[in-house]
Amino acid sequence: MSHHKIEVNSLKYQYTDGRQALNGVNFLITHGESVGIVGANGAGKSTLLMHLVGILFPNEGEVNVGDVPVTKKTLPVIRQSVGMVFQNPDDQLFMPTVFDDVAFGPRNYQLPEEEVEKRVHEALDTVGVLHLKSRPPYKLSGGEKRAVAIATVLAMKPDVLVMDEPTAALDPKSRRRLITLLQGFTHTKIITSHDMDMVFELCERTIVLKDGKVSADGPTLEVLSNRELMEDCSLEVPLTLQACPVCGRNNI
């Protein structure tokens, strides 16, 4: 059984205020894939991610992680195998020190303290912020907070990494560092973003959401270079794929 596979079947979800956020979403993401989920504001990206980790449960349809359906009973297994990095790192960092924050997950799984310490060190080292371990999280810069937020998830050794707008509010250098870091991960990755260039660089496959439905699903280059589709979904062709504004030459 592989926990790395994520299967979403006819997923529908309506918020209590009557808004239909997801209206029949289907896809299958297999082991090691890196998938970008793009769409306009309100297209249902964040709602979809929340279904993958069992924060929300579908009104109709189902989500399977590996062969395990996401239900209240299976949550401990699901959440160990799917790690979610939230859009705002401040929501994820609430302990007095970076160390305690990264240790929060492993400690909840009752791991021995030696193992917890080992995992915290490994996770912080992977994202390159081991030197920050004794600092209080609220004193870190945006890029550092994001790195620590990723470390908090890595310390749980998930098979699948789910990220909600990882490059939002990062300066160009921090953004670049994050992209390089994520390129080095062998996890199955599911990334929602409005940063089309990041999706282009990181993900070999892209799913486009529009009004709670999958509007397109295919190889990133093919999907993101489809100008008509992008405009129809209130998106834009990545700058990398657009013609040079000075000489007019096209990169592709």
Partner 1 sequence: MSNITQSLYNIRLLDELGEKKTVIHQIHPLAKVLTTGVYLVVTVSFGRYELSGLIPLLFYPIIVIALAEIPVITMAKRVLLVSPLIIGIGVFNPILNQDPMIVLPWIIISSGWVSFLSLLVKGVLTALAALLLISTTGITKIALALRMMRVPKVFILQFLLTYRYISVLVEEVGRIIRAYSLRSPREKGIRFSNWGSLTGQLLIRTLDRAQRVYYSMRCRGFKGEYNVGREVGIQFRDILYLGGWSVYFLIIRYFNISELIGSLMIGVGK
Closer Cβ to partner 1, 88 or 225, answer by number: 88
CB of 144 to partner 1, least distance (A): 17
> Per rule CB under 8 A, is residue 200 in the interface with partner 1?
no
CB of 76 to partner 1, least distance (A): 7
Using CB under 8 A as the binding criterion, the count of chain residues that bind partner 1 stands at 33
> Per rule CB under 8 A, is residue 237 in the interface with partner 1?
no
Which tokens go with 54? 């069992």
Quick note: the x/- pattern for partner 1 over 24-63, rule CB under 8 A, is --------------------------x--x-x--------
The answer to whether 76 touches 68, Cβ cutoff 8 Å, is no
Quick note: the x/- pattern for partner 1 over 58-97, rule CB under 8 A, is -----------------xx--xx--xx-x-x--xx-xxxx
**Residue 19, SS3 per DSSP:** coil
Q: Which amino acid, one-letter code, is at 15?
A: Y
> Per rule CB under 8 A, is residue 124 in the interface with partner 1?
no
Sign of the alpha-carbon dihedral angle for 138, 141, 142, 146 = negative
CB of 128 to partner 1, least distance (A): 21
CB of 104 to partner 1, least distance (A): 6
Give the Cα separation of 126 and 181 in Å (integer).
Answer: 8
Among 31, 107, 176, 213, binds partner 1 (CB under 8 A): 107
Closer Cβ to partner 1, 75 or 239, answer by number: 75
Adjacent-strand bridge partners of 25: 11
Among 116, 140, 182, 233, binds partner 1 (CB under 8 A): 116
The answer to whether 126 touches 154, Cβ cutoff 8 Å, is yes
Give the Cα separation of 31 and 119 in Å (integer).
Answer: 23
φ, ψ (nearest 5 deg) of residue 248: 80, 5
Q: Which residue has the tokens 């060190």?
A: 121
Give the Cα separation of 93 and 89 in Å (integer).
Answer: 6
Give the Cα separation of 19 and 34 in Å (integer).
Answer: 29
Binding stretches for partner 1 (CB under 8 A): 50, 53, 55, 75-76, 79-80, 83-84, 86, 88, 91-92, 94-97, 100, 103-105, 107-110, 113, 116, 134, 136, 138, 152-153, 156
